[in-house]
């Protein structure tokens, strides 16, 4: 058992964290500005948002890399891309302050603004986070597949869940537009 085992009480996951109707924190209290409105071109080939560098990239570029890694490495390729998603998701989560659910909502809004799809929360409790995504750029660029293809988003969702719920989590993509489903759905469990 690692020191990050599930026995450790989550520090920021009391029951009030999961209540949506808290009188003290209406959703409109701190309307966050659009990420795109704050994205700055520094004139030297860098796009910056609050000091963090961002990169606009065509989904086809990432999907072609994913297909090539799959061809070279087989099924393990999916975990390589999930690892990339975890790295970016962890940085994004660390940069957003506030109460856990508020942070999640801001992160999902940022994801939509960055063009990663239309995010929604299907379920949110101390042991489980379920995120839905419509119009995943990776599913759309990939085309029809036998199984889920949005490994980058899966990694991002896993990082969100681990950091916001403060425990080790495992995420899986349980439905994917590329596999013929209506939406992509990501389920992270402790
Ligand atoms: Zn998908």
Residue 42 buriedness (CB in 10 A; 0-12 / 13-18 / 19+): exposed
Task: Answer yes or no: is 105 within a domain.
Answer: yes
pLDDT per residue as tens digits for the range 47-102:
999 999 999 999 999 999 999 999 999 989 999 999 999 999 999 999 999 999 99
Q: How far is the CA of 152 from the centre of ligand 1 (A)?
A: 9
Collapsing DSSP to helix, strand or coil, 41 comes out as: strand
Residues of 130-167 as b/e, b for ≥16 C-beta within 10 angstroms? bbbbeebbbbebbeeeeebbbbbbbbbbbbbbbbbbbb
Task: Answer yes or no: is 42 within a domain.
Answer: yes
Q: Which residues contact 107 (CB under 8 A, 6 or more apart)?
A: 92, 93, 96, 160
Q: How far is the CA of 10 from the centre of ligand 1 (A)?
A: 30
Total domains in the chain come to: 1
Task: Answer yes or no: is 122 within a domain.
Answer: yes
Residue 161: give its domain's CATH number: 3.30.1380.20
Q: Which residues contact 177 (CB under 8 A, 6 or more apart)?
A: 134, 135, 136, 139, 140, 183, 184
pLDDT per residue as tens digits for the range 13-37:
444 445 444 444 444 555 667 899 9
Task: Answer yes or no: is 2 within a domain.
Answer: no
Task: Answer yes or no: is 85 within a domain.
Answer: yes
Q: How far is the CA of 33 from the centre of ligand 1 (A)?
A: 28
Q: Quick one: pLDDT at residue 91?
A: 95
Task: Answer yes or no: is 134 within a domain.
Answer: yes
* Adjacent-strand bridge partners of 186: 131, 173
**Domain span holding position 82:** 31-189
Q: What are phi and psi of 82, to 5 degrees?
A: -60, -35
Task: Answer yes or no: is 151 within a domain.
Answer: yes
């Amino acid at each position: 058992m690692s020191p990050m085992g599930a026995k450790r009480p989550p520090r920021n996951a009391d029951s009030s964290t999961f209540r949506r109707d808290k009188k003290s924190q209406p959703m409109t209290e701190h309307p966050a500005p659009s990420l795109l409105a704050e994205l700055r071109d520094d004139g030297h080939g860098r796009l910056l948002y609050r000091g963090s560098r961002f990169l606009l990239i065509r989904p086809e570029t990432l999907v072609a890399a994913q297909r090539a890694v799959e061809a070279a490495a087989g099924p393990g390729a999916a975990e390589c891309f999930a690892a990339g998603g975890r790295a970016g998701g962890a940085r994004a989560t660390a940069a957003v302050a506030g109460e856990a659910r508020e942070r999640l909502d801001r992160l999902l809004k940022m994801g939509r603004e960055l063009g990663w799809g239309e995010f929604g929360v299907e379920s949110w409790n101390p042991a489980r986070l379920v995120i839905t995504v419509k119009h995943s750029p990776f599913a759309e660029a990939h085309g029809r597949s036998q199984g889920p293809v949005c490994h980058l988003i899966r990694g991002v969702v896993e990082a969100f869940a681990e950091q916001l719920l403060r425990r080790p989590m495992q995420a899986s993509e349980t439905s994917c537009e590329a596999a013929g489903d209506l939406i992509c759905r990501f389920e992270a469990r402790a």
